[in-house]
Amino acid sequence: MIEENVSLPRIHYLNSHYGWKSWLFTTDHKRIGLLYMVSITLMFFLGGFFALLIRLELLTPQADMFTADTYNKFFTLHGVILIFFFLVPSIPATLGNFLIPLMIGAKDVAFPRLNLLSWYIFVIGSLFTLWVVAVGGIDTGWTFYTPYSTTFANTHVIAATLGVFFTGFSSILTGLNFIVTIHKMRAPGLTWFRLPLFIWSLYATSIIQVLATPVLGITMVLIAAERFAKVGIFDPALGGDPVLFQHMFWFYSHPAVYIMILPSLGVVSELISAFTWKRVFGYKFVAVSSLMIAIFSFIVWGHHMYVSSMSIYAGMLFSILSYLVAVPSAVKVFNWTATLYKGSVSYDTPMLYALGFIGLFTIGGLTGLFLASMGLDRHLHDTYFVIAHFHLIMVGGAVMGYFGGLHYWWPKMFGRMYPEWWGRLSALIVFVGFNLSFFPQFIIGYLGMPRRYHVYAPEFQVLNVMSTAGSSILGVGYLLPLVYFIWSLRYGKVASNPWRAKGLEWETTSPPPPENFLEQPIVTEEAYNYPTRPAQPGKQTGKLTGGLNPPASPTATATGTGREAEVV
């Protein structure tokens, strides 16, 4: 550990007020971020539990554990819980809430009470969904496709859609709050092109949240109206059109993928810069590429609908447009790689997650091009190839980014370090478990095993066993951080800025004071303005360091930021 004689600040946001009321009625963005973190962690492990049940059933080709109905409910709950109640709010609502004001030098978000309200709305939505779990579940799949959801399903469709509807409002309010905060509350001197890339990515995410989520809300209300009142929006017998549902649903749900992945891309930019000790190569391109991804995300939804009886001409249009998203995504990956080049790389836990992210995101993105191609999609549609592809993006991408960010900013949030060795171990276990879970699924999907089936042809069993084994390993990899993070809250070594990273959030104490900064910070330099890292005797850059970061130079003080050492 490089920091010595670091002590926790006397007053910080965690001890400034006591009692459950100080948490439930707080308007402090940092506390609200933690409230979100606890809520989504519960949902993460609940959704993960259903994933393990699904994989257990798929160990054998026969239906050994569950009936078809039960299996349908499990994969639906797995999807609904993890998408709407974990992946969508994961980074924006936890890390975003905690970090945006700190990273832009503000005291809080623009609308603190609206921020708390958005958490309460999220909790109400979650409770609706948990109620659905308790009373028997829902079996429509997370996509709620009509006419099954409106006409035939005998499960708790309306309650589940109401839960999603509520959560959508929470997402809109968070996005709105972030947009206004980033526009109006930046510290003096913090121009748009001095903003950290994490802020750029959250800004782009917020645009999607505000513009796309209302369409999901309307679609959920229309499903309820169709079930209740038979209004004839989606039912062909009443003059409606089920394909219209898919248009409306995917107008939200494709951009929603970018609500999940864009914040992760921002986290990875921060990590790559901090652990190579370099400015991100092509900063402006990476910043603008976030906005480009956000805009392109709105015009590609039809690639989910090639076999839905949508017009083949519209399919051609969507196919061409879908390829466009690859351009800004590739800009990011290439620029991260260029940043790594000749960087002073240290392989601490957050960096391991970031490197894992780059690999998985690249594979996930490239397999997306397969599915954007109409001809190939006819073969691969609704097979395990699709499952593997979107899990690479949404779990290999979004969750890796979330975990990387959580490890990176953990000392900022709580002033204590997690055990680094265990962190690295968990990152490696997650990477191995993830690949073992999902790589076989590309093969069985390509060979023709359809998704959503709980019985399958015996020739697929070996690959399914591999996948189930991988998911067990992945589960262990996800449980480890839960254990050592909780442990670190009491026993972790006190740390202020163990990475000696740059950025306004590291300028203040760890944990930060209730109003973030004792004095209004003034920004005078661009983001990631790292100096040349001090040379260390006997150590080559680019190799596994075996420790956290290189030791601070002799002029570094132990007050926390280490920035004194950088003025050389």
Partner 1 sequence: MGQATQQPATHHANGHSHAHPTISPATYLLVLVALVIGTVVTVWTASMDLGAFNTPVALAIAIGKAALIILYFMHIRYSTWLTRTVVIGSFFFLIVLFGLTFADYFTREKTHEIPSLYSPDPILKQQ
Which position among 224, 243, 443, 565 is part of the footprint of partner 1 (CB under 8 A)?
A: 243
Residue 309 or residue 529: which is nearer to partner 1 going by CB? 309
Total of residues contacting partner 1 (CB under 8 A) = 22
The backbone torsions φ and ψ at residue 494, rounded to the nearest 5 degrees and listed phi first, read: -65, 130
Helical (H) or strand (E) element with 214: helix 197-229
Residue 38 or residue 314: which is nearer to partner 1 going by CB? 314
Return d(Cα 514, Cα 509) in angstroms, integer. Answer: 11
Residue 157 or residue 222: which is nearer to partner 1 going by CB? 222
Which position among 312, 327, 457, 482 is part of the footprint of partner 1 (CB under 8 A)?
A: 312
In the complex, what is the shortest distance from the CB of residue 310 to partner 1, in angstroms, rounded to a whole number?
5
The backbone torsions φ and ψ at residue 41, rounded to the nearest 5 degrees and listed phi first, read: -65, -40
In the complex, what is the shortest distance from the CB of residue 170 to partner 1, in angstroms, rounded to a whole number?
20
By CB under 8 A, which span of 303-311, 393-401, 425-433, 444-452 interacts with partner 1? 303-311
Evaluate whether 101 touches 516 at the Cβ level (below 8 Å): yes
Which position among 12, 186, 247, 416 is part of the footprint of partner 1 (CB under 8 A)?
A: 247
Told to check if 314 binds partner 1 by CB under 8 A, we report yes
- Comparing CA positions, the residue from 398, 391, 208 lying closest to residue 296 is 208
Write out the binding residues for partner 1, residues 169-208 only, by CB under 8 A.
Answer: 183, 207
Return d(Cα 12, Cα 560) in angstroms, integer. Answer: 15
Told to check if 317 binds partner 1 by CB under 8 A, we report yes
Residue 127 or residue 314: which is nearer to partner 1 going by CB? 314
- What six digits make up the tokens of 298? 């709105």
- What six digits make up the tokens of 325? 């998203």
SS3 416: strand
Told to check if 378 binds partner 1 by CB under 8 A, we report no
Which position among 165, 275, 318, 478 is part of the footprint of partner 1 (CB under 8 A)?
A: 318
Told to check if 302 binds partner 1 by CB under 8 A, we report yes
Beta pairing partners, 383: 450
In the complex, what is the shortest distance from the CB of residue 224 to partner 1, in angstroms, rounded to a whole number?
21
- Tell me the angle at which helices 68-82 and 157-184 cross, rounded to the nearest 10 degrees: 10
Told to check if 244 binds partner 1 by CB under 8 A, we report yes
Evaluate whether 202 touches 263 at the Cβ level (below 8 Å): yes
Told to check if 218 binds partner 1 by CB under 8 A, we report no
Told to check if 320 binds partner 1 by CB under 8 A, we report no
SS3 383: strand
Return d(Cα 66, Cα 382) in angstroms, integer. Answer: 22
Evaluate whether 492 touches 478 at the Cβ level (below 8 Å): no
By CB under 8 A, which span of 66-74, 101-109, 299-307, 380-388 interacts with partner 1? 299-307
| CA of residue 276 relative to chain centroid, distance | 23
Binding site for partner 1 (CB under 8 A): 183, 207, 211-212, 215, 243-244, 247-248, 251, 298-299, 301-302, 309-314, 317-318
